[in-house]
Chain A
Amino acid sequence: MNNNILNLNSVISRAENVLDCTVDNEMVLMSVTSGDYINLNAQASAIWSEISESQSVSMIVEKLLGQFEVELEACQQQTLDFLNVLQQEKLIEVA
């Protein structure tokens, strides 16, 4: 179970079977496998945009710090929380 939890060094990318779209100015993900939808806020959309190619979590955090007014520690925590949700939903892959 513990290897499922991501840390700042984890390298992640989008899973293959995920569709995304922008509707009403918000990004929505859909898992082809489960048919479930997730809608993303601005920060989450920025994270999703970052991982069209493999990225380490710390690299993503660094980019977010440039885009949003947020403290490093909070950004790290929120990013990891969100990515852990995506991983549970099998929407990302860990290298």
Chain B
Amino acid sequence: MTYYYRIFELIISVPFACDELIEVLPQQANVIIIYGQVPDNLSVIEKQKLKWQVNKNQVLLKIPDAGKYLIEDGKSIIIEPEDNAFLDVIKLFLLGSALGAIQHQRQRLTLHASALTKGVHTILLCGHSGAGKSTTANILIQQGFKLLSDDLAVIDFIDGDAIVTPAYPQSKLWQDATEKLDIDYQNLNRVRNELNKYRMPIKDNFCKSSKKITYIVNLQSNDIESATTNSLTVFEQLSVLKRHSYRKKYFTLEQAQGNFQACADLVDLVPVMQIIRPPLTNSLKQVAQLINQQLS
């Protein structure tokens, strides 16, 4: 059985159900995902580490407890799961690294960021794990923002605007748990329980259409008294976007060059500013307040 979904303005066909994604009628898919045999090595390797190999048109992922993924031409993903691999785990790397590699091959700028929209404003929220993106996103949702993407901002440049495309209506806490999985995936049962526990669908507060990005916030946690906004030089803005580009390690040199100019184009179109906040979680309410002040 084949299932069809829309994600990042692409139609994907998947050999298993992904309940968190937005389902569409069967149609010509932009990205075809199937089960099949995947070689242990690419025939041409431009870059590699133990768990991945990359060349101009292909990415091969070898992920313990999930399986092998061959991502080609921005159009197809072949998955060869490990014996006894859990579907949740297979899906996790499909929706993360593998779909991320698809965007690289399609030369679309992809940032590790949440995207939220309200009225005329659409913001990207980027920051390292633990910076408080997800919690801030959830506070903003409570204040009337709608979520476009929780973790991955796939950006297109259309008619001189930078546009962020919708991912799927599920909130971050699931992703937090998956990040734990990345570190500690020997203990699958515990993690799986956590995944279920923290999965947060957000159907009513999801925005299904692409939006023009008006503001980018780089969130950082630091040892300070109260949350403050900092303006950044153009070069600091560029460096923030470069730093938060998704799965940079899979870039070929050509893709790295494309990413660099795309980050520069985004800096030229959209202001990037920084909010530094104290370590305590309750400071994230101040962060949400600062964001609202900037937008008004």
A28 touches B242 (CB 8 A): no
* B239-296 with Cβ < 8 A to chain A: 239, 242, 253, 256-257, 260-261, 263-264, 267-268
Instruction: Tell me whether chain A's interface is mostly helix, strand or loop, or mixed.
Output: strand
Contact of B260 among A19, A24, A26, A39 (CB under 8 A): A19
A30 at interface, CB cutoff 8 A: yes
Q: Give Cα A19–Cα B245 distance, bound, in whole angstroms.
A: 15
- Per-residue A-contact encoding for B109-130, CB less than 8 Å = 1, 0 else: 0000000000000000000000
* Cβ contact within 8 Å between A23 and B253: no
Is the beta-carbon distance between A20 and B234 smaller than 8 angstroms? no
Residues B242 and A30 in contact, CB atoms below 8 Å apart: yes
A23 nearest in chain B by CB position: B264
- With known contacts A23-B238, A37-B235, A37-B239, A28–B253 Cβ distance under 8 A: no
Instruction: Out of B256, B257, B268, name the residue touching A23 (CB < 8 Å).
Output: B268
Classify chain A: how many residues form its interface, as a range.
10 to 19
**For chain A residues 2-36, which have a beta carbon within 8 Å of chain B?**
16-17, 19-24, 26, 28, 30, 32
Nearest Cβ on chain A to B87's Cβ, whole angstroms:
37
Given A19-B260, A37-B235, A37-B239, decide whether A24 and B268 contact each other with a Cβ distance below 8 A. Answer: yes
A30-B242, A32-B253, A32-B256 as given contacts; A21 in contact with B263, CB under 8 Å: yes
Which residues from chain B contact A17 at a C-beta distance below 8 Å?
253
Task: Report how far A21 CA is from B264 CA in the complex, Å.
Answer: 6
Bound CA span A32–B268, Å: 22
Cα(A26)–Cα(B261), bound, Å: 12
A3 to chain B, nearest CB (A): 28
Known interface pairs A21-B238, A23-B234, A37-B239; A28-B256 also in contact (CB < 8 Å): no
Query: CA A16 – CA B254 in complex, angstroms?
Result: 10
Complex Cα–Cα for A19 and B239 (A): 13
- Chain A residues near B234 (CB, 8 Å)? 23-24, 26
**Alpha-carbon distance A87/B263, docked complex (angstroms):** 26
Q: Which of A19, A20, A23, A30 contacts B267 (CB 8 A)?
A: A23
Distance of A15 from chain B, by nearest CB (Å): 11
Nearest-neighbour CB distance to chain A for B280, whole angstroms, equals: 31
Of residues A16, A23, A28, A39, which shows the largest number of chain B Cβ atoms within 10 Å of its Cβ? A23
Residue from B257, B264, B268 with most neighbouring chain A CB atoms (10 Å): B264
Is the Cβ of A39 less than 8 Å from the Cβ of B253?
no
Asked if B253 and A16 make an inter-chain contact with CB atoms under 8 angstroms apart, the answer reads: yes
Q: Give complex CA distance A32, B245 in Å.
A: 14
Chain A residues near B257: list those with CB within 8 A: 19-20
Q: Which residue of A lies closest to B243 (CB)?
A: A35
Q: Which of B253, B256, B260 has the most CB of A within 10 A?
A: B260
Min distance, Cβ B258 to any Cβ of chain A, angstroms:
9
CA distance A23 to B239 in the complex (A): 11
Residues of A within 8 A of B268 (CB): 23-24
> A39 to B235, alpha carbons, bound, how many Å?
8
Could you tell me the distance in whole angstroms from the C-beta of B221 to the nearest C-beta in chain A? 22
Show 5 residue pairs from A and B whose CB-CB distance is below 8 angstroms, ordered by the A residue: A19-B260, A28-B238, A37-B235, A37-B239, A39-B235
Q: Which A residues have a C-beta under 8 Å from some C-beta of B?
A: 16-17, 19-24, 26, 28, 30, 32, 37, 39
